[in-house]
Amino acid sequence: MNRLKGMHAALLTGLSDDGEFSPERQRSINAYVLRQGLDGLYVGGSSGESGLLTAGELLDQQAIVAEDARSQDCQLIAHVGAPNLRDSIQLARSAAKLGYNALSALPPHAYPFSDQEIIAYYKELSAATDLPMIVYEVPIRTGRPLSNDVLAQLLDIKNVAGIKFTSNDMFKMARLRKAHPQKLVFFGFDEVYLAAAALGVDGGIGTTYNILGKLYAALHSAIANHDLVQARELQELSQEFVATILLTGVLPGVKIALQEIGVDCGPTRAPFMVQSAKGESAVRSLIQSPEYQHWLAK
């Protein structure tokens, strides 16, 4: 389980110009991200537009990423949280057959499910394979936070190895960390990873790691080496990049940045759209500036 610790890119999905899943563009993204020195990839999550993809497309993506990462020292976590449990189990079993190292899943969120329904979902999904499961707290996506009591029950489920925590409620996260020292805690807000690391998380899973993974790997190393000055400098660069892509929308912005440096990733799938032409220009200009060029994979 300790091998799962560290920094993982929440992998983007390669799409054709008309929005279809593109194996060729997925391989282009994979090749760039795998050069950045990260510990792993988180495949098929929200950053990969999974809520807009079919189960078949997600299965294809799983297979392509597994093939591309086979020769790399890279941990693979498959996000399998589909709107219905049947698809989630199909995705989980596929990932297990492909040699993924762990699973993760959003709580069921297509309807306002009860706490007991959410717990039952994770129990059945976790039992579908022998892979360790990373449960997920992400109120920005599900529309409501789960209580500490519910999260504690989820962490007690067999095969559950930890949690991806994407919330600014640092106190809640710290209490979970203290109450479950044997479980892994990953943090999902890239722009304040340093704050979460100070509270003892085991690593990060982030969208902007797709293009700045080298920077986040260095941030993780600076924290481990107690170099607070370097860690702050790197976090500030992360924050400036995040502030800029918010002008376009996060996923369109990261794809614009990748396109600007020559990674053939394609667009986002509708209804995502670039929110601002000025924002697009700002993203392209920022990623070409010397302080960011230094952190791009060559």
The catalytic site residues sit at: 136, 164
Tell me the C-alpha distance between 262 and 184, whole Å: 35
Give the closest residue to 209 by CA, choosing from 229, 180, 234, 184: 234
Tell me the C-alpha distance between 286 and 191, whole Å: 16
> For residue 216, what is the enclosing H or E element?
helix 209-224
Tell me the C-alpha distance between 109 and 115, whole Å: 11
Strand ranges, E, within the chain = 6-10, 40-43, 75-79, 102-104, 133-137, 160-165, 184-187, 203-206
Bridge partners for 6 per DSSP: 203
Which residue is associated with the tokens 């500030």? Answer: 236
278 burial (CB, 10 Å; 0-12 / 13-18 / 19+) is: exposed
Tell me the C-alpha distance between 204 and 216, whole Å: 9
Bridge partners for 206 per DSSP: 9
Tell me the C-alpha distance between 38 and 16, whole Å: 26
Tell me the C-alpha distance between 225 and 163, whole Å: 25
Contact, 25 vs 37, CB < 8 A? no
Q: Are strands 203-206 and 160-165 parallel, antiparallel or unpaired?
A: unpaired
